[in-house]
Structure 1
């Protein structure tokens, strides 16, 4: 349904100078958006940012590297690195980078602005459809709200636990990584014991 709506929207949108194309990598995004919408790599910034920075990587490699096979390899690597640096990892983005290299003759003829417009339009419409469809389905919520770290209230470490752990290890300790890890382990052990005897 989402791919059908995406295709229809692209078809009926104003075609400025060249026709708007549907990217093959958007089909891979659809798998994440509708089969695994809770995945970190399916979240809005990952989707939109991932396709856009990957498209830039693919475009740059297609211009700078004449050998298409080498350009394809570098483009995918550059896309992955760019997505990692921009905190928008989205695996289908690598396919977008590859598309811009393998279809370089077509994309270059139409200009980088058109190429970025096509990528942004595909990703933007896919995001809107993901927001609409996922939130209409029962037991679905998209995007996933950020998870805040919580401590187990029944195993919270208190000062008494640390003091007991220190008494087990000896008062005079060198605080290295191993000692600190052991101190934490023992303190947590005491906290769990204390929690288990509470009414």
Structure 2
């Protein structure tokens, strides 16, 4: 067995292996210059670009959050307005129903009054026509009775004032007697 000892490994770099020490020094100097230029020029522009993009992304997220909050507020306001509109519409419907019922009641009352007025006018007119018909009927019945009595007696009784008074009294007595059942008068 071989003891564990550290032995540097030799590497064969081939054509990349530096032949002179100046090549190694020039390589190190060039690496430092490139590193310095990158540190002073490229890295700050990358950092600036990164900061701008971070700011843009952060600002976009904040704007999106603000827009979302505004949209939520607008939605709540819309919901509130919609609820108020529904309540107002329900109230208007109820008012319309009550006004309709009131108008209907007023129209019924007015129709009842009008029908009562028409009935009263008709009753008055019927009573007047009845009175006129009774008066006319009385005159005609009196004339017929007088003519009939004159034919029975054989003399004319139309000129006699007393005969007319007797006929009128007889008709008045007929009117004052109560009517019998069955539509016959005494």
Fold match by TM threshold 0.5: no
Which protein, 1 or 2, shows the higher relative CO under an 8 Å CA cutoff with sep ≥ 6? 1
For the aligned pair, the TM-score class normalised by the smaller chain equals under 0.3
TM-score calculated relative to the size of structure 1: 0.18
Higher helix share: 2
